[in-house]
Copies of this chain bind each other. A is one copy, B any other.
Amino acid sequence: MSVESEAGEERPTSEVTIRLARDGDRARLWQILEPIIREGETYAWPRDLEREAALQMWSAGDAEVFVAELADAVVGTAYLKTNHLGGGDHVANCGYATAGEAEGNGVARALCAHTIERASQRGFRAIQFNFVVSTNLRAVATWERFGFERVGVLPGAFRHPSKGEVDVYVMYRRLEG
């Protein structure tokens, strides 16, 4: 898989800015998340998940929720939280979502870069993605570009709506102290 050519199709990320989400962003977050949930191709969430449950899941635990803005419009979101407790609480977990119409503008890249920086700031020593659907090629390529490695393959762990049972990757990136 050519990560460079994948990235080369995209425009630069300089115009994307990231900030913490506010209560006033909730309607827009749902506009971004709902089609992703309904499609059911990338997250292990019920396809009929409702707004409040989805927003609660996105901000669960100790999550910080971010939004990406492009020309003053919110076009993406990410969360950053602790993945496990106790002896595992030095590893963070993140999730990302981009509005369909904003794809190809480096939104996911800007969000990923921000969460890596913020996770380091918060003292995390690694970030783990627990459930990256293998057919989500664009996402896998983006995360690899940011130094995430496929450290695990879960065989057939996701039922894709059109492709049937597909593999899932566990991806992991250490952070510099």
Which A residues are closer than 8 A to B by beta carbons?
40, 43-47, 49, 84-91, 125-126, 128, 130-131, 133, 151-161, 165, 168, 170, 172, 174
A128-B157, A157-B91 given; A43·B86 CB < 8 A = yes
Q: Find out whether the CB atom of A131 lies under 8 angstroms from the CB atom of B84.
A: yes
Q: Is the CB of B40 within 8 A of A159?
A: no
Nearest-CB distance from A40 to chain B (Å)? 6
CA gap between A120 and B128 in the complex, in Å: 29
Q: A93 vs B85: C-alpha distance in the bound complex, in angstroms?
A: 17
Is the pair B44, A159 in contact by a Cβ cutoff of 8 Å?
no
The number of times this chain is found in the oligomer is 2
The reply to whether B86 and A157 form a contact with Cβ atoms under 8 Å apart is no
Q: Which of B153, B154, B165, B172 contacts A154 (CB 8 A)?
A: B172
Task: Name the 7 nearest CB pairs between A and B, nearest first.
Answer: A152-B152, A44-B88, A44-B84, A87-B159, A45-B86, A152-B170, A46-B86
Residues of B close to A44: CB separation below 8 A: 84-89
**Partner of A161 from B47, B84, B87, B88 at Cβ < 8 Å:** B87
Q: Give Cα A130 to B44, complex, Å.
A: 15
